[in-house]
Amino acid sequence: MTAEELMQKAIEARALSYSPYSLFAVGAALLCRDGTIYLGANVENASYPVSMCAERNALYHAMMEGKKKDDFVALAIVANGEHECSPCGMCRQALSELYPSSAPIYLGNLTGAIKETNTKELLPFAFRKEDLQK
């Protein structure tokens, strides 16, 4: 699957966003090795910390269906903005632990712009489980 095709799936997911507070709808599409695609959209709440970002929504959905880090091949994230949509810090941390470091992450917007990156570039000094060792 091409980056553009995966981005189109993320755009479809974006239509499911519940974002009445920020008015910033985000969609994500996570491609797995077996060809399965998991969609996610941001879901907001009046108590902002309770909200869920699109990329974590897709990632956690896949994990709840038994997928593991090694199953993930590519991730696309899209929103309407001048620049490509980039994950927030919380999502960067989750991706750094749960998504393969060398697998592509495609950041896009509705004008067709796509930038390829990965978790190492997004969060070079991630907090790791090894940091919890005493």
Active site positions, annotated? 55
Task: Tell me the three state secondary structure of residue 104.
Answer: coil
Query: What value, to the nearest 5°, has the Cα angle with vertex 56 and ends 110 and 48?
Result: 90
Q: Is the dihedral of CA 4, 110, 81, 42 positive or negative?
A: negative
Q: Which 8-state DSSP code applies to residue 74? A: E
Give the span between the Cα atoms of 68 and 19, in whole angstroms. Answer: 29
Q: Which 8-state DSSP code applies to residue 56? A: H
